[in-house]
Structure 1
Amino acid sequence: MAKSKIIKDLANGSVDTITALKRTKVLVSDLENTEILRWLDHEISGYPEDATVPSYRKVHGSLKGSYFKGSMANHMNWNNVSIPLGKMPDDIKELLLSVEFHESVEALKKLDEKSQAVGTEISKTIPADCFSTIAQFNNDPYMIITSARVIVSEHIVSNIFSMIENKLLDMLMILEKEFGCLDELDIDTTAKSVEEIEAINRRILVLCYNDNSISVGDGNKIKDSTIASEIK
């Protein structure tokens, strides 16, 4: 069977991710699966701050910033350098260095374009009330942190798009196999029993959406620091 145009367009990159998401939302609406629709809606419109984001939207970065040692009158400065973590426990490192992207795919696209055009880093700002805690783990009473942020890889946004598009392809290929050509953006669910529809929904959830991601550090100040889309 020839592949549906929506699949070929997505596979060869002739359609953008937001359009593919919207087309897929139209297709799966008749399946009446709230979890699948919620995932599509969140990718289109962004994840609420209290929502658990999928694992592919969670990354780890490295801590950079500025600090000085000594007194105000006699001290040494380090600017825009890696900040040592000292004997920081692993669970706190996880909170500190973890970055979550809640933005919609359109916002992520603009973020990526701006970062590439200006050549700047994508980062999460760490609030000032965490600075003394970070310094304490270095066991250095003379270390005064003045700024800190978590820097993530320049390729991370592209990786997020790749994951989303791959999940959409898997989803669309399941729909095509079960319902035939998808070019009219319509599927006939009346030809399937309730049990068959439920089985299709489960396959889509397992293969394309349900990654059992876990939200780390609810309510923690480090997690609630400035959104990762901030560019420094």
Structure 2
Amino acid sequence: MNMLDQIIQEASTSSIPVADVLRKMLVMSYRIKSQETVTWVKHELDGYPRDESVRLPTYRGPFTLPVHGTYSGYYGNSRTGPLGRHGVPEKYISAMFEGPLTEPIMELEALAAGENDPGFQWSPVLIGQWNVWEDEGRVPRFEGMNLISAHATLPRSKVKGVIDSIRNNALTFALELQSSYPQAGETDGPTVQDAGVQRVVSVMITNVFGTGNNVAIGDGNTMNLTVQPGDLEGLLDAAAKLGLDEKARDELVETVTGDAGPEEKRSRLAAFGERVKQGGVSLTGNITANIAAAKILELGTQFLGG
């Protein structure tokens, strides 16, 4: 049983922890030399930063959270009730009513198996701000009472959904690779330098992160671009559609038409594609680095005759 078979079998078995599946995914990602999936798997295993330095997968939120507050008034009176977004300034919405799941997969599985729904308490600063809005008439209030605490809750069903999404993405990725590259993940197997493997990686990253400037995206036009062997005009036209500016197109031409032999040209093409993926080559338009790099590698390979 090879690496892909193991991942498919374990990802299909609900009793096997997703962390075990991800560790095999990590091995496979290193072997296919896919930095994108290595980074994704590491973050799923270790957790995501609680800031904007790394984009979260779409399935990790942020989620809209129900919030319940506790009020206190004269003579020790108290009551609880739901708090809504109406009247709350937009810049406070995420801190009060939304929450992402950034925890490592093992913590998510522990939360899903627990008896209580996870959540968080509003900070004293947010409590004080809410009471100011009540005094200003921005938000509803209980007459003669002030908010003293508020708790945002995330239903465990959401946590279970995140876990299932991670498992399903791992399974789908392994199945897609296996359909065309059954030796992917084996020692000396195919890597992302093969345009087909890179396409599978790009689609997987798109499924995980959605569309955006830092992940692979594309549209029907870019995905259907093809170049005939030796068709330099067609290659340049396709490169322009992918967002390469004139300087980058000239560099691509030099890469695939220089005096080097066929293998050296392919090596240089792979290096050029890696620079595009890492942001070393400027792109214009809405096509992002990952998909542009994959398509450039594919088109350059077609130009060179496969």
TM-score (norm 1): 0.74
Change (3 A) 1:97 1:178: same
- Give the alignment of 1:196-207 within 5 angstroms: 196-207=196-207
Change (3 A) 1:126 1:195: same
The answer for the alignment partner of 1:150 in structure 2 is 152
Alpha-carbon deviation of 1:159? 0.6
CA–CA separation in structure 1 for the residues paired with 2:132 and 2:192: 62
Change (3 A) 1:5 1:61: same
- Once the two structures are superposed, residues 45-101 of structure 1 have per-residue CA deviations (whole angstroms, 9 ceiling, x without a partner) of 11122233222111111111311234xxx463114x323555224553344211111
- Percent identity, aligned pairs only, is 15
Paired residue type of 2:205: L
Given candidates 122, 127, 131, the residue that maps to 1:126 is 122
Alpha-carbon deviation of 1:155? 0.9
- 1:61 matched to 2:65? The reply is yes
8 Å CA contact 1:179, 1:187 repeated in 2: no
- Give the alignment of 1:22-61 within 5 angstroms: 22-50=23-51, 51-58=54-61, 59-61=63-65
8 Å CA contact 1:43, 1:104 repeated in 2: yes
CA–CA separation in structure 1 for the residues paired with 2:103 and 2:48: 6
8 Å CA contact 2:10, 2:16 repeated in 1: yes
Q: Per residue, is there more strand in 1 or in 2?
A: 1
8 Å CA contact 1:27, 1:187 repeated in 2: no
The answer for the alignment partner of 1:210 in structure 2 is 209
Q: Let me know the Cα RMSD of the aligned residues.
A: 2.8
Number of equivalenced pairs: 201
Looking at both structures, which has the greater relative contact order when contacts are Cα pairs under 8 Å and sequence separation is at least 6? 1
- Give the alignment of 1:132-171 within 5 angstroms: 132-138=128-134, 139=137, 140=141, 142-171=144-173
CA–CA separation in structure 1 for the residues paired with 2:79 and 2:7: 52
SS at match of 2:147: strand
Paired residue type of 1:100: P
| Larger radius of gyration between Structure 1 and Structure 2 | 2
Alpha-carbon deviation of 1:190? 4.8
CA–CA separation in structure 2 for the residues paired with 1:60 and 1:163: 18
Q: Per residue, is there more helix in 1 or in 2?
A: 2
8 Å CA contact 1:86, 1:137 repeated in 2: no
Alpha-carbon deviation of 1:193? 5.3
SS at match of 1:186: coil
- Once the two structures are superposed, residues 162-221 of structure 1 have per-residue CA deviations (whole angstroms, 9 ceiling, x without a partner) of 111111111111221232167xx52644588543443333233223x332479xxxxxxx
- Give the alignment of 1:78-89 within 5 angstroms: 78-79=79-80, 81-89=81-89
